[in-house]
Chain A
Amino acid sequence: GAVVSQHPSWVICKSGTSVKIECRSLDFQATTMFWYRQFPKQSLMLMATSNEGSKATYEQGVEKDKFLINHASLTLSTLTVTSAHPEDSSFYICSARSGTGVNEQFFGPGTRLTVL
């Protein structure tokens, strides 16, 4: 299947700093990318959906000014956690889809964020 990468795989930062997470589709063009968050022992929760070249659509309860999403190209989306706090510590997972039709949604390996 298609490959989605994330960088970094883990990051530790101080409270109040900003952290950028990159998501890349390596061998296909992703017209749509999704960002999920997963707390320990819980399921994945969708944060936002982004289409290349347009603003992201955020799920209810997700602050768009805190979680900045940029989908500047068909192979790259970034999530920036601004002014991170300990409660933002979580496993962040991106996912990518290409085109339309019956196809799979491919997931990145995730990024573990720990805010001290």
Chain B
Amino acid sequence: DAKTTQPPSMDCAEGRAANLPCNHSTISGNEYVYWYRQIHSQGPQYIIHGLKNNETNEMASLIITEDRKSSTLILPHATLRDTAVYYCIVRVATNAGNMLTFGGGTRLMVKP
């Protein structure tokens, strides 16, 4: 699976949008971009995934560049409960045995 690069940490003001970038310049055509987050002492939580098109759900929006070499996770109105480590992962989705490989992630701190 392609490697991802994320900033180690970011701060965001409560109520503002949090934009978390991820570089995946070696992504291949059949790899999806997944985002998970891990709140302290909990298991990772699925947020969103996408292939080419931008995606939106009740938690976040995922913006993927046209060349697919980078993406941005957007939390439109960050709250204190969004403080967590956010992981960007690329993976071929059609192989059920293909596990998720976690990098360092971005530690997002939402401040009042």
Contact = CB atoms under 8 A, between A and B. Distances in A.
Contact of B43 (A32, A45, A103, A107): A107
A109 B93 contact: no
Contacts of B104: 43
Contacts of A101: 93-94
Contact of B96 (A46, A99, A106): A99
- What range describes how many residues of A lie at the interface? 20 to 34
B88 to A, nearest CB: 12
A110 B104 CA distance: 18
- The B contact surface, by secondary structure, is loop
Contact of A100 (B32, B95, B100): B95
Interface string B86-101: 0100000111110111
B46 A1 contact: yes
Nearest to B99: A34
Given A34-B99, A43-B102, A102-B32, A110 B42 contact: yes
27 contacts: A1-B46, A6-B43, A31-B96, A34-B100, A43-B104, A43-B105, A45-B102, A49-B97, A49-B99, A91-B41, A93-B44, A95-B43, A95-B44, A97-B96, A99-B96, A101-B93, A101-B94, A102-B32, A102-B49, A102-B94, A103-B93, A104-B34, A104-B49, A107-B36, A107-B43, A108-B43, A110-B42
Interface of B: 32, 34, 36, 38, 41-46, 49, 51, 87, 93-97, 99-105
